[in-house]
A and B are shown apart, each in its own frame.
Chain A
């Protein structure tokens, strides 16, 4: 079917009427995110994002390949997102829907085209070998705002990921295992995130982090990609009814505030994971010493 079931008139009317009274179905404010939880798995670059009832898993992986002929100094970076029936019964396995195309496109622009990951640092040997970084997004539960959740997952994953060390010796590329040499963090130039707004009531009501039902009831959506420094790297309004230009201006400051808030949550999770790993590493070291 590849399409979520349409909303009933009752739901559509109620969501709109409630918003006119500044009430959302889950009791949130218009500018309030759902509870966000970012956690990391055992491997590097394994992230689980839970945003309200939307959840997804991002896995970052790296392999050595040959760079593109026209960009011999650049490594590769791809974002792979395939929506399966796991995230929502409305999605078909093995078929690309409109949502998948749209979300992949936005993620590409916010994260990849803004050069969040410095691809030049992925070059190992000019024109011969480079790292190819791949971010796989597995959507496990879909309840709206896929773009922001995926963006959070990818950015957290890139910051968490450590690739194997590789050196060039006499024209030969040597890749060291994760236990042979300290793995290398990726070079992140800045941390852009997207914030998606949905408009209602002829553009008079604007909310962030809409749930699936709110998305379906909305008139239009606006995506703003922005980093902590306030540099806007992406703005889009693909479909739906017109939105006043002032909304973009007003909401950019809201987006900045939210991006700072989200980045702080990611940083905190990264710090917690790092200290946990350090502790485990110490324990392992002392165990190894004891064995001797």
Chain B
């Protein structure tokens, strides 16, 4: 399966930015981060000891609504766990994350945002890295649909998601911890366990699963773990940025 395509720092004005193309849904997300900045008019909401994270999600072809506010809350929760808001220069300042769907289908009014959530999360992460916001770790996320027949579909298309019995978005930190678990629809514990295993394999590869060898084939299906894709994107950019330094060595 084709991995996602991402670019770091495509924008000039924002402090950090990333563009992310999700192969299965075809959606193209552009993200920007401005940090650390002053957040005027929100003095009372600011925390004195750490940074305030603000997330804004802008749909591509419609005004923003409840769905966007909802997904903003989820993203804010995940990023808040990552950002070291007490580092120098960050307390009482804002980390402003802006995500816009600039290509591909937008999520229709009232439809589930879960299919787009991993792409939004990855874009936000890459933009934060591009802005050099101090983070405790990185993460990777994926969305899985469970069809009526119990089959697990990785990164389902809009039609598959609409027909699915349940949808699950899971994010794992670079240390392998479960960082986010958002599900919708009807499912039982057993199904969730399977989904969890598969998601872990997608994000971290099978080696992370442990000693039980019978899931080894999954790696072939899912190709390179997402964690590796994100790392490669960053390494490419760092090599480009510091070509002058690397060439000199």
Contact = CB atoms under 8 A, between A and B. Distances in A.
B58 interface: yes
A7 B28 CA distance: 35
Contacts of B61: 59-61, 134, 136
A99 to B, nearest CB: 14
Interface string B39-63: 0100000000000001010101111
Interface stretch (A80-88, A147-155, A281-289): A80-88
Interface in B52-98: 54, 56, 58, 60-63, 96, 98
Nearest to A1: B40
A244 to B, nearest CB: 34
Interface stretch (B10-18, B161-169, B172-180): B10-18
B102 interface: yes
Interface in A84-119: 84-89, 92-94
B53 to A, nearest CB: 12
A46 B98 contact: no
B154 to A, nearest CB: 23
Name the residue among A46, A94, A136, A138 with the largest chain B CB count within 10 angstroms: A136
Q: Is the interface of A mostly helix, strand, loop or mixed?
A: loop
Contacts of B230: none
A84 B15 contact: no
Interface stretch (B30-38, B139-147, B186-194): B30-38
Contact of A1 (B17, B38, B63, B104): B38
Interface string B1-28: 0000000000111110100000000101
A45 to B, nearest CB: 9
Nearest to A42: B103
B58 A84 contact: yes
B234 interface: no
A268 to B, nearest CB: 22
A41 B101 CA distance: 13
B100 interface: yes
Contacts of A43: 103-104
A84 B63 contact: no
B14 A82 contact: no
A56 to B, nearest CB: 10
B109 to A, nearest CB: 10
Given A84-B58, A93-B98, A94-B56, A46 B37 contact: no
Interface of B: 11-15, 17, 26, 28, 30-32, 34, 37-38, 40, 54, 56, 58, 60-63, 96, 98, 100, 102-104
10 contacts: A2-B40, A60-B61, A61-B62, A84-B32, A85-B56, A86-B11, A86-B17, A89-B14, A136-B61, A141-B14
